[in-house]
Chains A and B, each alone.
Chain A
């Protein structure tokens, strides 16, 4: 498919990414405001589809989250259909199918979280994980349908990446998912903060290793690796922001431990930390996809770019 033809699909994927990010933020607001069980039934709310007269107190968070989830579900359905019809790459079509399946599973998990209160911790944990997992799938779809990715695919440019870099990126993605789980466990009051702190240390080491490797490759091979250095820069910036937000959110939560209700700044800091985690995951995924692609290309035609040439 020519680059220009795929732009419509790419833009729609970007809209879906944006909507999913908003949905994640709304989900974090539900948890931080302790609104998770404010509507005891599902899929209806208080037995109705539009209970506008009963949206009081915390119900606004839960109900808005449900409306946003339905919107994302519809967007994902349209995106999956678009990918199925327009895409010639079978693996991208499959990716669209997996993302559609993931959003359906996620909707079911959201419902189960409401209906099976006895298992609320486990279900909340899986729901939080699946939210980020679905987000990562949509980000991946947007990336691989982007004109930039097309250009990368069509380019004959090649660089030698260290063999450990793809493995390091994979480990970082897995580590970040685990870290998101541990954060959700703490947020949902199911476990202490220590696993999340240890996870932060581990993930930081992995991410710093990746950033250092990308810089090293660029320096040693004398190439300007924009395709990797840009997302690496985003990863570095977001990692710093996440660490700061995490520390601030923890101390805000400690300070608020005897508050009669969830209050600011604890709510905003916690939600910002969750949102930062999603953005960090997105940046890392972009970097990882590109590292894997470039590593795969190396086997085909090893061509080293001269110094200063942009990739």
Chain B
């Protein structure tokens, strides 16, 4: 009976396609747009401006769910009343929105800061949940928990890795070489643990605080597209012109009904593998 041969051929073909699609580009300099003038290293002039703002939330926010940490007694003991953190709204203001300069800085390059943002695992939750780094900037991952964790970022344009961090171990220092907004980070041992890292080619980003406010300082005067990104409500863009030593205020507003459907539950585009989206977008272009 000649069963099994055809499915094997199919699976190998799919695997080859998927492996090809999943292939990450060579790690190195951030990709530059074709025909773009070479970026010059930015030197502060004292004319830099500031963007401040707030992220509003209208409508009834979803109720925060209790996280069941019973699978790891250490977590349950340390953080007995943990709540979901994907949507945190205080007095109509949305927390944990990543706000960054999406465009307007292409003509400049920026040196990578030596400071290392810290991602802590505390109470079996990531602290902070949302953070930004520059491409190539070190990220310091520490654990304050007396239990095991694994740290597993799942980027699309950066190398993926998965490392175990037992309690009391040395910090893990890693960096992401290519810009990418956003990289989900998860702990597969504690599946409720989620964090998001925004990797940029410049240092101009902020994360909305408990009161929904944010501030981006030190911007060269110019016209910018500012994007706000939220893990559940998606992205919004605002255009703003910042003059010399000027402080501009902008607002973003999310509505309760805007929650998007996770990719895996979409009906269409059904045949597009997420790993191939970039390749297909390029082909379409």
Check if A202 is an interface residue, CB within 8 A of chain B. no
Are A195 and B271 interface neighbours, CB within 8 A? Answer: yes
Taking the nearest CB of chain B, how far is it from the CB of A243, in angstroms? 18
Asked if A194 contacts B4 (CB within 8 A), the reply is: no
Q: Looking at the complex, which of B7-15, B105-113, B198-206, B222-230 is the stretch in contact with chain A?
A: B7-15
Beyond known contacts A190-B275, A192-B265: 7 more, CB 8 A cutoff: A34-B188, A129-B11, A136-B3, A181-B10, A190-B274, A192-B269, A258-B62
Is A247 close to B, CB under 8 A? no
| Interface contact B263-A259, CB-CB below 8 Å | no
- A257 contacts across to B, CB distance below 8 A: 261-262, 265
Which of B6, B68, B189 has the most chain A CB atoms closer than 10 A to its own CB? B189
Which of B8, B12, B150, B270 contacts A37 (CB under 8 A)? B150
A-contacting residues, B221-242, CB 8 Å = 232
The residues of B with any CB-CB pair to A shorter than 8 Å are 1-4, 6-8, 10-12, 14-15, 18-19, 22, 24, 62, 65, 67-68, 71-75, 84-86, 147-148, 150, 152, 159-164, 166, 186, 188-192, 232, 259, 261-275
Any B CB within 8 A of the CB of A260: yes
| Docked-complex contact B15 and A259, CB < 8 angstroms | no
User: Does the CB pair B7–A262 fall under 8 Å?
Assistant: no
Q: CB within 8 Å of B: which of A47-84?
A: 54, 56-60
Q: State the CA gap A178–B264 with chains docked (Å).
A: 19
Picked from A58, A137, A195, the residue with its CB within 8 Å of the CB of B188 is A58
Number of A-B pairs, beta carbon distance below 8 Å: 170
- Asked whether, in the complex, the Cβ of B265 is within 8 Å of the Cβ of A253, the reply is yes
Q: Does A174 contact B (CB under 8 A)?
A: yes
Interface size on A (CB < 8 Å)?
58
Looking at the assembled complex, report how far the CB atom of A16 sits from the nearest CB atom of chain B, in whole angstroms. Answer: 18
Stretch at the interface among A1-9, A113-121, A154-162: A113-121
- Is A309 engaged at the interface, CB distance under 8 Å to the other chain? no
List residues of chain A with CB within 8 A of the CB of B261: 257
Distance, CA A130 to CA B3, complexed state (A): 14
- Is B273 a contact partner of A191 (Cβ separation < 8 A)? yes
On whether the beta carbons of A37 and B4 are closer than 8 Å, the reply is no
Contact A195 B67 (CB under 8 A): no
